[in-house]
Amino acid sequence: MSNKRTAIITGAARGMGQAIARRLGKAGHHVVLLDVLEREVEEAAAEIRAEGASAVGLALDLADEGAVSALPERLGADFDRVGILVNNAAISPKRNGRRVPAAEIELSEWESVLRINLTAPFRMIQLCLPPMRAQRWGRIVNVASRAGRSPGGVAAAHYVTTKTGLLGLTRAFGKEVAGDGVTVNAIAPGRIETPMTQGSPPEVLKGVLASIPVGRFGTTEEIAALAAFLAGEEAGFITGATIDINGGVLMI
């Protein structure tokens, strides 16, 4: 089979998602960038095309089940060649740059975070499995978080819950589809330099930096390199796994 496959990346307008899309584009895949930020995702795809890769940016609200279900028809023949799915999109609402105490999270906010961070990856996997199974080849990479591995004080309850659930989802699907030539793995990043993390107060960032043994924050390129490996041919014997990438903050 040709190395060129369709790779779908959610939350790809910026940050880790954009870096992953760029890396997969350089690897020769046709990358489909999905994000609710219409202008930004189109610009991100244009930047990747300017580097000589094949890319398209599409606006998609992962909270809209109708829009998600319509994605295969929207992509047409490109969807039939889907071989890689990276579930990267996530939200983590804060108040004045700080996490919301669990007892103060409103139900509407709780349900919104669960829909984007956990239900959307579940639905995207369901959608992408048929073409992967038909090709007898697929790579699914779920971008979780250190918060799902060591939740105490790391993030708000809804974010922690969804990222923990994503690890369980990874194992469940990984077990079910391994015989179909499809692998399902998770990445658990620590503090990475992204637009989402840069909104934290300076004193919070200082404290986080002091807790990282390697003495710095991670980069989106490092996340992209790991995602690209898990999405490649050489990772075919890895499935149901969670790979920590946190600078040594958590070692298990």
Output the CA–CA distances (angstroms, integers) from residue 177 to 58, 59, 80, 129, 229, in the order listed.
Answer: 28, 29, 18, 9, 19
Distance between CA atoms of 190 and 207, rounded to whole angstroms?
14
Q: What is the pairing mode between strands 6-10 and 30-35?
A: parallel
Helix/strand/coil for 199:
helix
Helix/strand/coil for 175:
helix
Distance between CA atoms of 59 and 96, rounded to whole angstroms?
28
Of 35, 25, 34, 10, which Cα lies nearest the Cα of 88?
Answer: 10
- The position carrying tokens 């990267």 is 88
Burial of 252 (0-12, 13-18, 19+ CB in 10 A): exposed
Active site residues: 159
Contacts of 170 (CB under 8 A, 6+ apart): 142, 144, 184, 185, 186, 240, 241, 242
